[in-house]
Amino acid sequence: MYELIPVATAPELDEEAERRFVEDWPEFIFHDEGVAPYRERRIEYFRDWEFYLVDSDDRRLIAGCWGVPIAWDGTVADLPGGFTDSLARSVESYEAGVVPDTFVLMAAAVRNDEQGKGHAGRVITAVKEQALARGLTRMIAPVRPTSKSQYPLIDIAEFMTWTRDDGLPLDPWLRTHVRLGATLLAPAPASQTMTGSVADWEKWTGMAFPATGTYVIPDGLTTLTIDRATDTGHYQEPNIWLRHA
């Protein structure tokens, strides 16, 4: 059996979680400067929205997830711009005394040696139940489609329409969500923005960028723009909005 527990109740798992849950993410994803102004306040305000999935027999770490509560009127027009904007809205709304009604699942990850066993579905289902039990009326997520990196030149709005012969999304991570009852809402073409020097991007990607131009990068869902004259690289990560409840 498995159990979703608050992160705050299992500090002994923090070190392993920090190591395990970055294994499948590209380095550049951790360099969104728009997140920095809200990171500490998010932890202060919403620590109780961070969870570990553990084996209930021995409390072995299996997966983790976290999210933030926001106010959302249920329309596509009122969706946050994506990951970073959701974080900003949650923190700023909390400080303004706005009552939230929606949970935004910001990230979920399963440790490498436990993948393919249905744990992603367990985490998503359990955290949705937590959100509804706490009085929120719906759950949404700015999802990073895992196979989009194979098609970095395709617009995210087009990619989200791609399906298999059985009608399910082509992308396996979207497919996991849809099988759990989620519906695709809208593209989030600028969910996160990462900017760094040319040297930064060479370190983050393991590539050389000898000239100004547009580059396909490992694990990039879209392309990276390099400007040698200003010594900058600019990348906007697209996501897809899904609704679970």
Spell out the residues 6+ positions from residue 73 whose beta carbon is closer than 8 angstroms to its own.
none
Quote the percentage of the chain above a pLDDT of 90.
Answer: 94
Please state the three-class secondary structure of the chain as a single string. CEEEEEHHHCHHHHHHHHHHCCCCCCHHHHCCCCCHHHHHHHHHHHHHHEEEEEECCCCCEEEEEEEEEECCCCCHHHCCCCHHHHHHHHHHHHHCCCCCCEEEEEEEEECHHHCCCCHHHHHHHHHHHHHHHCCCCEEEEEECCHHHHHCCCCCHHHHCCCECCCCCECCHHHHHHHHCCCEEEEEEEEEEEEEECHHHHHHHHCCCCCCCEEECCCCCCCCEEEECCCCEEEEEEEEEEEECC
Please state which of the ranges 11-15, 69-73, 194-198 shows the lowest mean pLDDT: 11-15
**Predicted local confidence at residue 245, as pLDDT:** 80
Res. 43: pLDDT tops 90? yes
pLDDT digits (tens, 9 = 90+) for 148-175: 999 999 999 999 999 999 999 999 999 9
Q: Who's near 82: CB < 8 A, 6+ residues apart?
A: 142, 188, 190, 191, 192, 237, 238, 239
Between 199 and 58, the more confident residue is: 199
* Residue 56: pLDDT over 90: no
pLDDT band at residue 24 under the 50/70/90 scheme: confident
For 106-116, write each residue's pLDDT tens digit: 999 999 899 99
Looking at the predicted structure, is the pLDDT value of residue 21 above 90? no
For 93-138, what is each residue's pLDDT tens digit?
A: 999 999 999 999 999 999 989 999 999 999 999 999 999 999 999 9
Average pLDDT in the chain: 96
pLDDT at 142: 98
Give the pLDDT score at 173: 96
Q: Minimal CA–CA distance to 21: which of 44, 1, 48, 51? A: 51
pLDDT-based confidence at residue 57 (cuts at 50, 70, 90): confident
pLDDT of residue 20: 85
